[in-house]
Amino acid sequence: MAEPVGNQAWHQLLDAMIDNKRRHASVDDGLYPVTHPNPGATEEQLRATEERLGRPLDPQYREFLGVADGWESYHFSTNLLGTSDIGVGDRWGETARTIAQWLDETDTAEDLGVGDDSTQFAPIADTGNGYAGCLYLGTNLWPRKPVRMPLGPSRPSIARSIWASA
């Protein structure tokens, strides 16, 4: 599990992401309007989410949700899940099924050096189409070295994409 980084770091990241959305919106003729993160989750919402999951949230993810409790269309049509989506509902179910299918049909887990047990990954983002742009947080993969996704045409660096237009 990751150590908390502090609310200021999350606010700085969110501000950069909003700026990036504004730049995209200025050239996409209204296709993807600027949206903003939801207000942070309350302690009660965070505890209810952890109870629903049957385990604590990753400390960094918990901290993030306390700053931004979800974000509709944070990146084009991809949504960051909020506490009301975590562990329940269609968004969670679709993304959980997607990771199970992805791990079953590909060598991704082996390539990354992680187990192929889909229950060890928690959905944190989804798209309306149910498969593209889903993000997952490993829930029980540590203590291990951080997993690095290989870069390539099909796996761009998210950080590089965000900062390239800064």
146 has pLDDT over 50: no
What are the pLDDT digits (tens) for 54-71? 989 989 999 999 999 999
Q: What is the per-residue pLDDT for 74? A: 86
Long-range contacts of 47-53 (CB under 8 A, 24+ apart): 48/83, 49/83, 49/86, 49/87, 52/86, 52/87, 52/88, 53/86, 53/87, 53/122
Q: What is the average per-residue pLDDT within 135-163?
A: 47
What are the pLDDT digits (tens) for 91-139? 888 888 888 888 888 887 777 777 777 777 778 888 866 555 556 666 5
Whether the model clears a pTM of 0.85, i.e. scores above it, the answer is no
What are the pLDDT digits (tens) for 119-131? 777 788 888 665 5
Q: Where are the domains of the chain?
A: 7-164
Helix boundaries (H) for 106-147? 108-112
Q: Mapping DSSP to helix (H, G, I), strand (E, B) and coil, where does residue 96 land?
A: helix
Q: Output the CA–CA distances (angstroms, integers) from residue 113 to 98, 146, 148, in the order listed.
A: 19, 10, 10
* pLDDT > 90: percent of the chain: 33
Q: What is the per-residue pLDDT for 165? A: 39
